[in-house]
Amino acid sequence: MLTSPNWEKTSNKLKVSEDVFIYFKDNTPFLVDTRKHEEYEIDDPAVITEIAGFLNGAEISPETLQNFKEVNILTPETQKPLFRNFQNDILDLFHEACKDVLDQTDVCSPTEFSDAFVATCEKIDGEEPPARSKSVALSGVQPIFLPEFNRDSLNETSLFSALDRRKTIREFYPHTLSQQDLSNFLFSAFGYFHDYKKEECKEYTPFRRRSSPAGGCLQSTEAFLTVFNVEGVAPGIYWYEPEQHALLKVRDAISYEELSSLLISQYFGANCSVGVFIASNLERFGWKYQTTRAYRALCLEAGHFSQTAQLCATALGLNTWITAAFKDVRVEELLSITEERTIPLMFLGIGKGRYHPMNSIMESRLKRST
C-alpha cells in the first residue's frame, strides 16, 4: 500500500521516477532504485516495453501500475528527485546509489559489535586477498633494488615546515634526482614504513602498514613511476614494489610531450625528475569492499597517499605538481594495468622547480591579456 497522503490525488498524474535507472548485464535488465536503495533483476523484459508504453501514453493495467509504484518506477509527477547537486545527472544518481548502503542495523552493544567484527576477521582470515600488481610482479623482470631508506632524511624538516612549504608548482627545471632521494621518497610515501617495529606489526598480519592509512589495511594503492631524470635509473615506466623496495620495469620511457598528451595537454610535468601515477587495485579493494560506497573509500585512500607523498617530497627539498585530469585508457595502457582491474587516480610530478603556482608561459599570457 502507498503511504503518501497525496498519492491518490495525483495518481492520474504519474511520471517515470528520476531516482531509478536500468542497466543490463548478460542480457538481463536490472532496476536500481536509489530512493529505497534496492536493486531488482527484471526477469521479464516486457517490463521495459511497458515503461515505453507508458511513455507513449498507452493504457497500463492496474496490476502493472501497482507493481511500478511499488518499485518506484512510477511516482507522482510532483515528486522531486532526491538529490540534484552535482549538475550532472549520472553523478547525482551515483551519489544516491552510494548512500546508506552499509548495514543499517540498529545500534548494538560494544560486545555485539566486537563479535561481529571478529566474525568478519575470521572470515577474511581464511582467504588470501588478490595479489598486488601481479602482471608486473610475474613478468620476470629483474628488480632494481633501491638504496636503503635513510630515516634522518625526513628528520631534518619539521611537520610545520613541510606543510608550510608544500605548494603546487607548475614549472620544473631539469634536475637529476639521486637514487637515495628517490628511495627516501618512495619508502616514506609508499613503502612498508612501519615494518621495523616488528612486535607492533604482528597485530596486522598478514597485512602491512604504510605511512598513510589504507582501507582494511589491504594496501590497494599502488605507485607507478614515470622516471625521467634519476641517477642510475634508465628513463621508463616502473612499478614500485614495496616488498623488496625495488622498481620493476613495465615499459620504455616516454617523452615529456607524451606525458603532456596523457595529461590532456597540461604541460606542467615537463622537466620533472619523476612522475607518480597513484592507482588503486580494485581487485584487492573489492575483495573486502563490495558496495558502491567502495568508490568513495578508494578515492579517499588515494588522496591520503597523495598528500603524504607531497609532504614527503617537500620534506626532502623537492617540489610537486598534482593532477587528477588525464586520459584514463591511455594511462592504463601505459602502466599495463588494463587486464588487472587497477585504475589510475592521480598524477604527481616531482622534482625541482619554480616556487610559484604559475607556469611562466601562462603568466606571460595572463599579463598580455590584462
Ligand X SMILES: Cc1cc2nc3c(=O)[nH]c(=O)nc-3n(C[C@H](O)[C@H](O)[C@H](O)COP(=O)(O)O)c2cc1C
Binding site for ligand X (CB under 6 A): 167-168, 170, 266, 268, 322-325, 357
Closest CA to 190 of 85, 306, 68: 306
Q: Write down the least CB distance from residue 268 to ligand X, Å.
A: 6
Q: Write down the least CB distance from residue 4 to ligand X, Å.
A: 40
In the complex with ligand X, the residue whose CB is nearer, 47 or 263, is: 263
In the complex with ligand X, the residue whose CB is nearer, 135 or 157, is: 157
In the complex with ligand X, the residue whose CB is nearer, 289 or 347, is: 347
Q: Write down the least CB distance from residue 346 to ligand X, Å.
A: 7
Q: Write down the least CB distance from residue 48 to ligand X, Å.
A: 38
Count of C-beta atoms within a 10 Å radius of residue 214: 19
In the complex with ligand X, the residue whose CB is nearer, 238 or 268, is: 268
Strands 74-76, 221-227: pairing is: unpaired
Q: Write down the least CB distance from residue 167 to ligand X, Å.
A: 4
In the complex with ligand X, the residue whose CB is nearer, 170 or 249, is: 170
Q: DSSP class of residue 348? A: E
Residue by residue, what is the 3-state secondary structure of 43-76?
A: CCCHHHHHHHHHHCCCCCCHHHHHHHHHCCCEEE
Q: Write down the least CB distance from residue 324 to ligand X, Å.
A: 4
In the complex with ligand X, the residue whose CB is nearer, 285 or 347, is: 347
Number of helices (H), then strands (E), in the chain: 15, 13
The 10 Å CB-count burial string (b at 16+, else e) for 236-259 is bbbbbbbeebbbbbbeeebebeeb
How many angstroms separate the CA atoms of 61 and 162, rounded? 68
Q: Write down the least CB distance from residue 279 to ligand X, Å.
A: 14
In the complex with ligand X, the residue whose CB is nearer, 150 or 323, is: 323
Q: Write down the least CB distance from residue 321 to ligand X, Å.
A: 6
How many angstroms separate the CA atoms of 139 and 27, rounded? 36
Count of C-beta atoms within a 10 Å radius of residue 71: 16
In the complex with ligand X, the residue whose CB is nearer, 145 or 173, is: 173
Q: Write down the least CB distance from residue 326 to ligand X, Å.
A: 8
How many angstroms separate the CA atoms of 262 and 304, rounded? 23
Count of C-beta atoms within a 10 Å radius of residue 157: 17
In the complex with ligand X, the residue whose CB is nearer, 174 or 357, is: 357
Q: What is the CA angle 270-274-277, rounded to 5? A: 100
Instruction: Give every CB contact of residue 168 below 8 A, 6+ residues apart in sequence.
Output: 320, 321, 322, 357
- Taking the CA of residue 144 as centre, how many other CA atoms within 13 Å lie in the half-sphere pointing to its CB? 21
Helical spans, DSSP H, in 6-45: 7-10
